Amino acid sequence: MAYFVVQRDLPGVTPEILKSAGMRAKTCCSEMTDEGQSVRWIRSFFLPETAQTHCYFEAASRDTVEEANNRARIPFTHITEVVEMTPDSV
């Protein structure tokens, strides 16, 4: 499994729209995992200054992450594989 960041530009987004998108992402990931395509939404960060969000997913492939976001109908600009680094890992 790999980690991916999904970048979104969401000008004018409200906390409620983010909450709604989160619920849709969660339920679509759960459904796809039940179908055999394991994908997990890990967490998201909202950048108020740029109205962007960075959403982190764990999945076998980029395509799986893209499909989860499409099913949840959440717009995105880029999906990029990332390497995890934590204070404990260095």
Partner 1 sequence: MKDTELAAAIAIALAKKRNRSEIGADELLLGCLQVISRFGVVQMGSWTFDLEELGVDWLDNPERSEAKVAYSPLAVDLFDRAARIATADGSSRIRVSHLLAGFANEDEGLMGELKRSHGITSASWRAAVARAWSARFGKDMSDPQEDGSEAGDLGDYLTPEEAAKALSIHVQTVRAYVRSGKLPALRLAGERAIRIRRTDLDTVLEPLVPQT
* 82 bridge partner residues: 3
Nearest distance, CB of residue 82 and partner 1, angstroms: 25
Closer to partner 1 at the Cβ: 23 or 82?
A: 23
Report the C-alpha gap between 72 and 85 in whole angstroms. 28
Q: Which CB sits closer to partner 1, 31 or 58? A: 31
Tell me which residues in 17-76 interact with partner 1 (CB under 8 A): 17, 19-21, 23-24, 26-28, 30-31, 34-36, 67, 70-73
Q: Which DSSP category does 40 fall into?
A: E
- CB of 5 within 8 A of CB of 82? yes
Burial class (CB in 10 A: 0-12, 13-18, 19+), 47: exposed
Between residues 5 and 32, which has the closer beta carbon with respect to partner 1? 32
Binding site for partner 1 (CB under 8 A): 15-17, 19-21, 23-24, 26-28, 30-31, 34-36, 67, 70-73
